[in-house]
Amino acid sequence: MSHARATHLTRRGLLAAGSALGLGAALAACGDDKGKDGGSNGSAGTGKSGPWSFKDDRGTTVKLDKVPANIVAFTGVAAALYDYGIQAKGVFGPTKTTDGKPDVQAGDMDVSKVTILGNTWGQFNIEKYASLAPDVLITTIFDGVGTLWYVPEESKKKISQLAPSVGISVYDRQLTQPLQRMWDLAESLGADMKAAKVTDAKKRFEDAAARLRAAAKAKPDIKVMVGSASDQLLYVSGTNLSIDLEYFKSLGVNFVEPPEAAKQKNGGGGWYESLSWENVDKYDADIIMMDDRSQAIQPADITKATWKKLPAVKAGQVIPRSPEPILSYDKCVPLLTNLAEALEKAKKVS
């Protein structure tokens, strides 16, 4: 996990003032007609009918009279569902960059066709959410207690009054597990999981995993360091807790493991070690994977001399990493192939 996520977990409570104003009216606007209105022009568009239930990773079972049509989801979750043919009506989380382009976490979604309830941490427009007549809210979970990702802590009770929620855990497990959970969720929502696009993507994922395993076996001495850059610090991730890194490690990739991150895990949940830019050469690395999210400084924009002197940087062996993968097989294929290709081409430079 990068610095941004850890910082976020200590910055809950940033939702703009005014959430309470008009909430009663917004709740009333949903009223008892929410189901009828949602069904007439639902955004899922699957045609599946009948009662719906889904047990999420908190152990909570959501039961509805019909399959949710008006879905609101964290941007990355909405992007995954989109790949399976399920269209969210509203999203929250990084959706547009500062220049108005789709955020990396939006995947293939047309962001002009979704209602954005909040684009940054702490933003969640409750009144706008209510106006969507939501049937269900879906997001991920990054801890062991079931905290809903990007749902502001101080507003979660008001938000929960409007629709039930589903949480998919991406904490302390391998990538394949939440991928399967998202698959199950999409199927429950009416997605055609036998469509060629879907089955082909899963096959490509399996092939990419085999390629990465083979590349790691062929280059066991190549060390991979995982980082995220800010103005003041480089955050070096350990493999524990992160779904992508735990999976890559299971395939044989040789990662730098900061002792500080391991200690934090044993003590209740750490993700990384913070290094000043003067000390970024603390660990030997042949390949560096860098956080590709919009809140992190991208490698091309890092001007620190110490960074430019790193052997992996000088050798051009720096690749992107997606700390919050879009949980569809299609979007996870590049995560595997990029690392496999980097390993195949890597020279030992550390």
Mean pLDDT of the region 266-287: 85
CA distance from start to end of the chain: 24
Calpha distance 143→111 (Å, rounded): 28
Give me 127's structure tokens.
Answer: 């009144």
Q: pLDDT by residue (tens digit) across 215-226?
A: 999 999 999 999
The per-residue pLDDT for 86 is 98
CA distance 309 to 227: 16
At residue 274, the 3 state secondary structure works out as: strand
The proportion of the chain whose per-residue pLDDT surpasses 90, expressed as a percent, equals 81
If one counts every other C-beta atom within 10 angstroms of the C-beta of residue 29, the result is: 15
**pLDDT at residue 271, rounded to an integer:** 84
| 93 contacts 75 by C-beta, under 8 angstroms | yes
Residue 16, pLDDT above cutoff 80: no
List the one residue out of 306, 316, 266, 307 whose CA is nearest residue 286. Answer: 316
Percent of residues, the chain, with pLDDT higher than 70: 84
Return the pLDDT at 48: 63
50 falls in which pLDDT band (50, 70, 90)?
A: confident
d(CA 30, CA 137): 15
Span 54-63, average pLDDT: 98
Residue 8 pLDDT class (50, 70, 90 cuts): very low
The pLDDT tens digits of the residues spanning 335-348 come to: 999 999 999 999 99
Instruction: Give the least confident one: 48-52, 70-74, 96-100, 303-307.
Output: 48-52
Name the band, by pLDDT with cuts 50, 70 and 90, for residue 203.
Answer: very high
Q: What is the C-alpha separation between 101 and 78, in angstroms, rounded?
A: 17
The pLDDT confidence band at residue 41, using thresholds 50, 70 and 90, is: very low
What are 294-330's pLDDT values in tens digits?
Answer: 999 999 999 999 999 999 999 999 999 999 999 999 9
Closest CA to 320 of 337, 305, 338: 338
Query: Residue 188: which H helix or E strand, with range?
Result: helix 176-188
Exposure class string for 133-144: b at 16+ Cβ within 10 A, else e: bbbbbbbbbbee
Mean pLDDT of 257-279: 75
Contact 332, 325 (CB under 8 A): yes
Report the distance separating Cα 257 and Cα 225, nearest Å: 8
Mean pLDDT over the full length of the chain: 87
Residue 37 has pLDDT above 80, yes or no: no
- State the pLDDT at residue 270: 65
Q: At residue 208, does pLDDT exceed 70?
A: yes
Average pLDDT over residues 220-243: 96
DSSP conformation class of 104 = G
User: Is 80 exceeded by the pLDDT of residue 266?
Assistant: no
Least confident of 11-20, 51-60, 135-144: 11-20
> What is the structure's pLDDT at 31?
35
Quote the pLDDT of residue 47: 52
Q: Note the pLDDT of residue 237.
A: 94
Mean pLDDT along residues 62-74: 98
Q: Based on C-alpha coordinates, what's the Rg of the chain?
A: 21
pLDDT band of residue 137 (cuts 50, 70, 90) is very high
C-alpha closest to that of 81 among 35, 44, 118? 44
Query: What pLDDT was estimated at residue 259?
Result: 85
Q: What torsion, rounded to 10 degrees, do the Cα atoms 256, 265, 227, 103 define?
A: 140
Question: How far apart, in whole angstroms, are the C-alpha atoms of residue 56 and residue 185?
Answer: 9
Distances (CA, A) of 198 to 59, 77, 331: 27, 16, 11
